[in-house]
C-alpha cells in the first residue's frame, strides 16, 4: 500500500511538470511571441507532448491561448499570421501559398524575427526605369549605342542615347530603325550613307535596332574613296601642325606613335588615289570591273587600319574634343553682349572693357549672340578668332553644324568693340568686315578680301548702289550686297563689280575659305606644282587642308583656269560632308560629269542653284562673278 501511495505521488508530480510550460506560454510568459506584438529575434520554443521539445528552439510552433489550438495545427491567434509562413508538425506543409517567397524558418531561427520579411520582393538585377537596347546583327555593319559617351546596352527612360553606325567599306546604310516592345517602328536614318550618328530619347520600353545595308555603286565608291583621301590628308596636316610640331607639350609615347601612323598613312595615300583614279576612268568608259572595285575597297581598308588608331590618339590629345572654351571679350566701352544656346551668360562693357571665359561648352550646339548698345554708341567690330563677322540687326547666330569652323585649338575667341555714333558712317574701324583689300588694282586677287588677316577697311558702303553695273543680274544683287558687306568679295574699282566676268579657280578658293571661316596660315605651302609663292597659296592650302578642293591628276591645281559651275557645286557639296541626296534630273543632266552628279543635285535640293530659265544647270560653263556670289551666299545662309 505504501508502494502504491508513493507511485501515485510520483505520477501526480509528472503530470504537474508537463503542464507548467503550457501555462507559461498561454499567460504570455517570458519569450512568448504570440501574446504580444513583440519582434524579439529569439523564437518561442515549441510546445508538444514531448517534454524535450523545449530544448529544440529551431522549430517555430503553432501556439495559441486556447488549449484547443493544439488539435488544429492550422489555427493561429495572430490575425497577421499570413505575413509569416505557417509552421505545423509537418515542416514541409504551409497554409500560405506565398510561403516559398519567405525564408525557411526551420533552417534559420532568426527568420521569424522580421514580420515583414515576405513583404519585400527579391531585388531586381535591372532598375525598373532601365530598358534593354539590342542591336540586331547585320552583316557588314557595326552599330554602337552610347549614353554620356559610354557604350551601353541599357538606358533609363528619357535618357539621350547616341546611336552610331559604320558600314564596311564598299557599303552604305539605306535604312536604320528601332522597334519597341509593341513592335512600333521609329526611323533613325532613311538615306544612303556610309556612316551615321543620331541621338534618340530612350522610350519606356526595350528596343531592338535594325539596319539595312547594300553595296555601293561604282560612282558612290569613287566618291567615298576621294572623301577618305581628302579627310586623311587634311587630318595629317592638322596633326602635324598641332601635335608633331609641338611635341614637347604632349606625351612622348603618343607623339611617337602618331608620327609612325602618319608616315604609314602617307605611304598608303598615293595607292588609294591611284586605285580610285583608275576606277573613275573605267566609270567614264562604262567598263567597270570587279577587280577595280576590289582594289579601291582594299586600299580604303588598309588606310582605315592606320588612320583609326591615329585618330584615337588625336582624340586623346584633344583633336576630337566634344567641348571648347568660349572667350568673350568686349574691348571698348559702349554696350553689352549676351550669349545663349550652348551656354548662357552676358558680358557688360557699359563702364569699360570687360570679358568672361565660358569653359566646357558643348561643341555640337548652336550659339546666339545679342548685342545691346548704349545711347550714343554703335557696334564697331565683331570678330571670331580674328575673323570679322556680319551682324544683322543686333543678333548673330551660329548653327550647331557650323560651330567647329569657328574653333581654333579648342577655343572660340570672340572680340567685340563699340564706337561712338556720330550719325553717319563709322570710321577708324570696320563695321561690315575687314581684311586685305585690293580695290582698283590690276591684280587677280582683287576678287576677294580675307576676313581679318592683315588690315582693315574703313567706311565700307554695303549698299547695292556701290556698284553701277548690276543691271541684268538683279537676281544676284542681294547676294553680292551681303558678301561685299562681309568682306568676302570686292569691287573691281571705279564702282564696277563686273558681274559677267569669270572666276578663276584660285579666286574661288579664296572666296570659299572666307565664307567657311577656315584658318589661313600665311606661310603655308601646297603640293601643287603651280600653286606656290603667290597671294593665293595660303587659301588653296587652307581649302586642301579642310578637304574641299583637290588638284588635278597631273599634280597641278589649275591656277589661272576658270572654274566651272559643276566644280563650284562639288566644292560646296564637300563643305557639307558630301551627304547622300536624291538625284535631280535637269534637262542637261547628260552634260554633268559623274563626279559632280550628287553635288549638283545637292545644290538644287538646298535651292543654292536651280538652273537657268530653261531649267538647265550648264555644268561645264565657266562660273561668272554673279553666279559664284549667288551660290556662295546660298552656302553662307545654309551654314549660318
**Using an 8 Å Cβ cutoff, are 33 and 112 in contact?**
yes
**Using an 8 Å Cβ cutoff, are 134 and 114 in contact?**
no
pLDDT digits (tens, 9 = 90+) for 144-170: 999 877 889 999 998 889 999 999 999
Beta partners for 470?
none
Rounded CA separation 327/178 (Å): 41
pLDDT digits (tens, 9 = 90+) for 333-358: 889 999 988 888 899 998 888 999 99
Rounded CA separation 234/278 (Å): 23
How confident is the model at residue 32, as a pLDDT?
Answer: 36
Contacts of 285 (CB under 8 A, 6+ apart): none
Spatial CA neighbour of 224 closest among 283, 284, 300, 275: 300
Q: What are phi and psi of 553, to 5 degrees?
A: -60, -25
C-alpha cell at 279: 576606277
Rounded CA separation 263/386 (Å): 33
Q: What angle do CA 509, 483, 394 make, to 5 degrees?
A: 130
Spatial CA neighbour of 575 closest among 551, 528, 600, 543: 543
Q: In CATH, what class is 323-420?
A: mainly beta
Spatial CA neighbour of 444 closest among 513, 498, 388: 498
For residue 19, how many C-alpha atoms fall within 13 Å in the half-sphere facing its CB? 7
**Using an 8 Å Cβ cutoff, are 470 and 625 in contact?**
no
Cα-Cα-Cα-Cα dihedral of 532, 533, 536, 541, to 10°? 40
Exposed/middle/buried for 159, CB within 10 Å: 0-12, 13-18, 19+?
A: middle
135: three-class secondary structure by DSSP? strand
Rounded CA separation 47/64 (Å): 10
Rounded CA separation 506/511 (Å): 9
How confident is the model at residue 79, as a pLDDT?
Answer: 39
How confident is the model at residue 191, as a pLDDT?
Answer: 81
How confident is the model at residue 73, as a pLDDT?
Answer: 41
Q: What are phi and psi of 54, to 5 degrees?
A: -65, -10
Q: What are phi and psi of 495, to 5 degrees?
A: 75, 15
C-alpha cell at 306: 592606320
C-alpha cell at 6: 508513493
How confident is the model at residue 615, as a pLDDT?
Answer: 85
Q: Which residues of the chain carry a pLDDT beneath 50?
A: 1-4, 11, 13, 17, 19-128, 422-464
C-alpha cell at 593: 560629269
Contacts of 454 (CB under 8 A, 6+ apart): 435, 436, 522
Amino acid at each position: 500500500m505504501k508502494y502504491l501511495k508513493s507511485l501515485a505521488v510520483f505520477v501526480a508530480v509528472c503530470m504537474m511538470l508537463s503542464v507548467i510550460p503550457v501555462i507559461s506560454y498561454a499567460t504570455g510568459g517570458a519569450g512568448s511571441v504570440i501574446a504580444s506584438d513583440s519582434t524579439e529575434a529569439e523564437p518561442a520554443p515549441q510546445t508538444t507532448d514531448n517534454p524535450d521539445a523545449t530544448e529544440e528552439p529551431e522549430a517555430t510552433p503553432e501556439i495559441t491561448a486556447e488549449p484547443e489550438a493544439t488539435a488544429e495545427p492550422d489555427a493561429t491567434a495572430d490575425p497577421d499570421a499570413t505575413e509569416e509562413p505557417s509552421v505545423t508538425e509537418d515542416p514541409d506543409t504551409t497554409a500560405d501559398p506565398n510561403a516559398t517567397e519567405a525564408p525557411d524558418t526551420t533552417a534559420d531561427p532568426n527568420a521569424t524575427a522580421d514580420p515583414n520579411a515576405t513583404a519585400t520582393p527579391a531585388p531586381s538585377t535591372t532598375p525598373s526605369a532601365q530598358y534593354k537596347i539590342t542591336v540586331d546583327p547585320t552583316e557588314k555593319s557595326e552599330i554602337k549605342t552610347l549614353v554620356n559617351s559610354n557604350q551601353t546596352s541599357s538606358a533609363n527612360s528619357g535618357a539621350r542615347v547616341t546611336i552610331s553606325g559604320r558600314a564596311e567599306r564598299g557599303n552604305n546604310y539605306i535604312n536604320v530603325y528601332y522597334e519597341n516592345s509593341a513592335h512600333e517602328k521609329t526611323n533613325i536614318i532613311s538615306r544612303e550613307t556610309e556612316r551615321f550618328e543620331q541621338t534618340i530619347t530612350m522610350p519606356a520600353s526595350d528596343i531592338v535596332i535594325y539596319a539595312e545595308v547594300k553595296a555601293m555603286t561604282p560612282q558612290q565608291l569613287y566618291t567615298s574613296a576621294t572623301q577618305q583621301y581628302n579627310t586623311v590628308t587634311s587630318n595629317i596636316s592638322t596633326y602635324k601642325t598641332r601635335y608633331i610640331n609641338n611635341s614637347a607639350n604632349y606625351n612622348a609615347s603618343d607623339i611617337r606613335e602618331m608620327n609612325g601612323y602618319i608616315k604609314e598613312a602617307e605611304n598608303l595615300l598615293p595607292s588609294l588615289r591611284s586605285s580610285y583614279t583608275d576606277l573613275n576612268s573605267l566609270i567614264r568608259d562604262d567598263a567597270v570591273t570587279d577587280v577595280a572595285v576590289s582594289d579601291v575597297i582594299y586600299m580604303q581598308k588598309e588606310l582605315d587600319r592606320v588612320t583609326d588608331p591615329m585618330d584615337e590618339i588625336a582624340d586623346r590629345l584633344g583633336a576630337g574634343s566634344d567641348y571648347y572654351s568660349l572667350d568673350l571679350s568686349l574691348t571698348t566701352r559702349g554696350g553689352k553682349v549676351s550669349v545663349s544656346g550652348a551656354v548662357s551668360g552676358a558680358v557688360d562693357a557699359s563702364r569699360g572693357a570687360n570679358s568672361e571665359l565660358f569653359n566646357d561648352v558643348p561643341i555640337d550646339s548652336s550659339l546666339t549672340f545679342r548685342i545691346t548698345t548704349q545711347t550714343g554708341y554703335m557696334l564697331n567690330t565683331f570678330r571670331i578668332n580674328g575673323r570679322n563677322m556680319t551682324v544683322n540687326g543686333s543678333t548673330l547666330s551660329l548653327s550647331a553644324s557650323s560651330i567647329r569652323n569657328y574653333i581654333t585649338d579648342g577655343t572660340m575667341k570672340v572680340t567685340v568693340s563699340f564706337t561712338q555714333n556720330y550719325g553717319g558712317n563709322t570710321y577708324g574701324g570696320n563695321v561690315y568686315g575687314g581684311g586685305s583689300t585690293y580695290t582698283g588694282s590690276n591684280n587677280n586677287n582683287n576678287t576677294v578680301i580675307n576676313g581679318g588677316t592683315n588690315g582693315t577697311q574703313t567706311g565700307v558702303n554695303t549698299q547695292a548702289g556701290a556698284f553701277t553695273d548690276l543691271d541684268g543680274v538683279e537676281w544676284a544683287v542681294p547676294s553680292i550686297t551681303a558678301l561685299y558687306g562681309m568682306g568676302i568679295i570686292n569691287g573691281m574699282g571705279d564702282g564696277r563689280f563686273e558681274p559677267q566676268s569669270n572666276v578663276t579657280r584660285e579666286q574661288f578658293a579664296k572666296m570659299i575659305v572666307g565664307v567657311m571661316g577656315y584658318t589661313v596660315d600665311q606661310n603655308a605651302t601646297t603640293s601643287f606644282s603651280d600653286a606656290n609663292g603667290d597671294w593665293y597659296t595660303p587659301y588653296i592650302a587652307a581649302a586642301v587642308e579642310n578637304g574641299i578642293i583637290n588638284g588635278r591628276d597631273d599634280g597641278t591645281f589649275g591656277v589661272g583656269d576658270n572654274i566651272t559651275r559643276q566644280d563650284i557645286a562639288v566644292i560646296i557639296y564637300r563643305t557639307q560632308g558630301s551627304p547622300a541626296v536624291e538625284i535631280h534630273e535637269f534637262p542637261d543632266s547628260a552634260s554633268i560629269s559623274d563626279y559632280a552628279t550628287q553635288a549638283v543635285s545637292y545644290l538644287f535640293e538646298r535651292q543654292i542653284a536651280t538652273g537657268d530659265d530653261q531649267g538647265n544647270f550648264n555644268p561645264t560653263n565657266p562660273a561668272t562673278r554673279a553666279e559664284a556670289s549667288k551660290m556662295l551666299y546660298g552656302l553662307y545662309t545654309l551654314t549660318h
